[in-house]
A and B are shown apart, each in its own frame.
Chain A
């Protein structure tokens, strides 16, 4: 299932989940945009416990403005960061 498309505004879920997590803390709650769709893969958060990881999850490359990630960011205004984020860690930017 592919819920998002390149250009869509998204936010990384600000959720806490026990165990193996593939969304870094510094991105949680931060907004960005879908840069590209990287493919569909078994969920590594389940594979980590010897489970099947099925159904496959879509992995996206998500872009973020560096100035939106770090307080007092002093680099050029156009600086961006790209991170690979699985579908289940993303929500549309409009939702809480």
Chain B
């Protein structure tokens, strides 16, 4: 098996066909991905590779994988540090919660 994502043909049980609304942060994750691609900072092949190598791949939803992989790539390339990302996330959280 080539990785945790390589599941084609294995038994996965019943398919959950329920729908859900796309959340704002998911649209944002998609937009950030496109913007990074447009700036030449990330490619689809690199992003896929980063997604496949997430240690907690099975525990994450689709766009959670996207954001975790994007963070991994940005840190790997030295564009941002984990600390910078965490600080900014904390700042946004405080602003959002009004505290």
Chain A residues at the B interface, C-beta cutoff of 8 Å: 16-17, 19-21, 23-26, 44, 47-50, 69-70
Docked-complex contact B2 and A50, CB < 8 angstroms: no
Q: Are A17 and B2 interface neighbours, CB within 8 A? A: yes
- Please tell me the number of chain B residues within 8 Å of chain A, measured between CB atoms: 13
Closest to A23 in B: B2
Q: Which residue of B lies closest to A42 (CB)?
A: B45
| Chain B residues within CB distance 8 Å of chain A | 1-3, 6, 8-10, 43, 45-46, 48-49, 52
Are B3 and A21 in touch, CB under 8 angstroms? yes
Give 20 pairs: A residue, B residue, CB < 8 Å, sorted on A. Answer: A16-B2, A17-B2, A19-B49, A20-B52, A21-B2, A21-B6, A23-B2, A24-B6, A24-B8, A25-B1, A25-B6, A26-B8, A26-B10, A47-B46, A48-B46, A48-B48, A49-B46, A49-B49, A50-B46, A70-B9
